[in-house]
Amino acid sequence: MRFLATIGFITLLPLIVFLGMKVFQSKVPDLPPQIVLTLDLGESFPESPALKGIQQILTGPTTTFFDLLRTLSAAELDPKVKGIVLRVNDLAIGLAQLEELRSALMVFRKNGKFVFVYADTFGDLSPGVTKYYLASCADQIWMQPFSSLNLTGMQVDQPFFGKVLKQFGVLPQISTRKEYKNAYASLTDSEASDANKEATTNLLQRLHDKLMADITAGRELSSTALQEVMRDNPMMSDKDAKTNHLIDRLGYIDEFKQAALDKASVGGTAPSSTDKKDPKNAPAFVSIHYYSALVGEALAPQEEKIALIYGVGAIMQDDK
């Protein structure tokens, strides 16, 4: 009997969860009249949604990277949304996604919304270039006092196991096409070849030039001034970062949040007397996940529809 009861419970579990989600959605409260979206980039935003069924029930709703961009596009048209605040401590997305998100945030700003960024640090014991690259599109960049900003450039780590494998009698049987095909060089070579160094250096230089150009444009700096800072003081203190106009404010997270709420108030000033009398009219923070699930799809433009097909995985030489 216990076995049959267990089977019955497992069978009914998806239906119970589905009905529970419907009840929850029917009781979702209205959004505040003035909204400041919140986004923590320490969270992951997968390219494709979770599989439906039991996996979706166990993992819960997933905000994909496409959902994130679509939600920002929808928020641009929503008069309730005044701006967005981002935390950029530990980035869980790659450089390609950072570039796409940065472009979306710049469009978000052009539609009259503000973007505030907060980081506990842009460095300490690690490079801060990629985090700062995203932050450079914001209206205001905040950093916690007594931290540092490290603009130490780009780097690539390439381990080579060819010599070690040879000592153990392992000889990889790999064929390559010309000298610039270095996909398996870490298994066959003991050090970087001249062609490998050339290709890697060119790639890094292009990435570096792209990031520096966007940073100087975003912060309204000259390329010469930024290059001098990176050359003379690449690991700068909080005060040096502010002096060099690389950050706008030094403060703690509670001060940052209050400044964002003040910005969302009428004209970016302190909350009006009306807001003080009626807290329901005051700006409030709303998670971008919550906003996306509630109104993101409804606010997205519907004039044209484009099908999105996810191609995730290795590229194989096959016709299937």
Residue 129: both structure tokens together: 């270039």
What are the CA-CA distances from residue 232 to residues 112, 148, 239 (Å)? 37, 15, 15
Q: How many separate helices (H) and strands (E) can be counted in the chain?
A: 14, 8
Residue 296: both structure tokens together: 């993101």
Residues in the chain: 320
Angle at 64 between CA 117 and CA 282, to 5 degrees: 45
Task: Return the pLDDT at 58.
Answer: 58
Task: Return the pLDDT at 22.
Answer: 46
SS3 200: helix
> What does pTM read for this prediction?
0.77
- The residue behind tokens 């929503």 is 78
Task: Return the pLDDT at 114.
Answer: 97
Task: Return the pLDDT at 40.
Answer: 94
With a CB cutoff of 8 Å and minimum separation 6, the contacts of 168 are: none
Task: Return the pLDDT at 269.
Answer: 41
Task: Return the pLDDT at 26.
Answer: 39
Task: Return the pLDDT at 296.
Answer: 56
Rg for the chain (alpha carbons), in Å? 25
Task: Return the pLDDT at 127.
Answer: 82
Q: Tens-digit pLDDT profile for the chain (320 aa)? A: 555 555 655 555 555 545 454 444 434 457 888 999 999 998 888 887 766 655 555 555 678 898 899 999 999 989 999 999 999 988 888 899 999 999 999 999 999 999 999 999 998 777 889 999 999 999 999 999 999 999 988 888 889 998 888 888 888 888 877 888 888 888 888 899 999 999 999 999 999 999 999 999 999 999 899 999 888 988 999 999 999 999 999 999 999 999 999 999 855 444 444 444 566 778 999 999 999 888 755 655 566 677 777 777 777 776 65
